[in-house]
Structures are given as structure tokens and as C-alpha cells.
Copies of this chain bind each other. A is one copy, B any other.
């Protein structure tokens, strides 16, 4: 289903190349004066427009939020806050040639197997564009009084298996990858500071479990760890016990929490690949595929704001 959260829930909708993507935030308290610039700022980070990188996709997206309900004179009413962002950058024609092709590394075939129908126009519901409503919702949720003293900061720590000391070096690296027609993955780290002790539940709503679920919901995420993470499996107890990972028994301790999420490379690449194609008679044959169009060389570049949004929504639903 498409609803997450049970206190401040978010129901999302929209395919990448349909009319709009959007969401409904339910349980948002009444009487909060909202700063919409924070929403715009988050969307700009998500769009990649601020990245000094060779993102072809970035300039196409100029997302404007339409607020449909739940707000009067800039103040929340306590009723559901619905919003939408029109998909203005329709270039569905780009995708017509892909109508029956299952792009490698994409969900095209899985959707077809599950639904017997799919929106072939740019990934439909599987597109990373569906992360947009989470970013919008989180930009409001972080304005709640209970969230004010909590900071959630995510950043790239690794791209294509390498760490970069400055942005210029990173841009050079990405241009090289792009010139090869290939793509790379990356690792995003996120630090949560100021979270009070006592957040999270002992068994099924452990804080780390909810964070893991949220992070692994982001398209292209392949792994999650927090605190000592995978390295803990190689430590002695006498050493590991000295670490303060910020969570114990599923419950926050008041210490900082650090987590890391691994993202695979963008699957859309120019390098020719073999792909499955469903033929008119229902059979599947193999075709050569080179994916043109606007595609990021490294989807992880735009992931930090999404990681922050997901963490924000998890925390808001476990607090209070």
C-alpha cells in the first residue's frame, strides 16, 4: 500500500509521467504556521539543480507544489494536507520505443509480472519521481515544534567506491563516467542529532527497524547499517560495548545516531545492453538497448535529501 506512518501518515500517489505526483499528510497538528520556502528549498535539493554536476535531468525539473487542502492563510487546520506537483516535463514520446522493453536493472518486468499492465512512460510508479511527495511532507513535518531541536543531516560519503575531498574532483570523476556512457553508485551517511531518549518501541517498531524500512524503500537502496554496522560483526564484545550507537533495544538513548545507505548505480546507461522485449505474440525475445534521454550518472547524488526526508517521517511517527 501507499501509506506510511500511523501518527502523521503520508499517502502518496502519482506516476512519473502521469498528471501529477502528490500526497496526503494526515495527523498533522493544527495551528502550525508553515514556511513554504523550506519546501521549495528541499525540492531544489532533490532536483539536483544545486549540484555543480553534469546532471542532464536537473534542469528539466522545476517543481511547483499546489496545496489542495488542510491549510488556511498559511496555517495548518488539523485536517489532511493534500498537495500535488504537476508532471510538466512530459516527454512521454521518449518512452514510446520502450513500451514493450524491459530495461535491465529497472522494475519494468516485475511490474508487468505483478500487474499485467504497466505505465511504460518513464518508470511510472517505480520512478524516483515518486520520492518527491516524501520530500514535501518532510519539509512540513520538520517544522513541527516537536521536531525543532532534532537535526537530521545526510551527505554522500562515497561515490563509485571512492571518497572525494572536494567537489571539483567529484565532478571530474562523474564526467568521466558519463563519457563512458556508464553510471556509478554511492553511499549516503545520515546523522541524527538531538533526538530525545525513549523514541522507538521494543519489538516491532524498533527505531532502527523503522529507519531500515524507510531507507530500503528508496529506489536503488541495497543496504542499510547504523552505528557500528557490519563492522560490529567483526568486533569483540569488550570493544563493541564501548560504542554508543544512539539506539539500544530499539529505543533511542539520546546519543547521536549515524546510519549509512548503499545505492546501486543508475540503471539507465548509454552503453548498449541486452534487454528483454515482450513481442506481440506474448513471447519474450532479446534486444539491444541503449538508454538515451535525461538520466543521472549517479542517482545517489540526489539521495541525501530523500534520506533526510525518510528519517524525518520515521521519527515524527515514533515521537510523542
**A77 and B209 contact, CB distance less than 8 A:** no
| A1-46 interface with B by 8 A CB criterion | 1-4, 6, 9, 11-15, 18-22, 24, 26-27, 30-31
Other-chain residue from B1, B30, B205, B233 in contact with A263 (beta carbon distance below 8 A): B233
| A61-96 interface with B by 8 A CB criterion | 66-70, 72, 75, 77-82, 84
Taking each of A119, A234, A273, which has the highest tally of chain B beta carbons within 10 Å of its own beta carbon?
A234
Is A279 part of the contact surface with B, judged by Cβ < 8 Å? Answer: no
CA distance in complex: A31, B111 (Å): 12
Is A232 part of the contact surface with B, judged by Cβ < 8 Å? Answer: yes
Is A161 part of the contact surface with B, judged by Cβ < 8 Å? Answer: yes
Chain B's closest residue to A103 (CB) is: B241
- Which B residues are CB-close (under 8 A) to A78? 114-115, 117
Residues of A within 8 A of B (CB): 1-4, 6, 9, 11-15, 18-22, 24, 26-27, 30-31, 66-70, 72, 75, 77-82, 84, 104-111, 113-119, 124-126, 130, 158, 160-161, 177, 182-187, 197-198, 201-206, 208-217, 219, 221-230, 232-238, 240-242, 245, 247-254, 262-269, 271, 273, 300
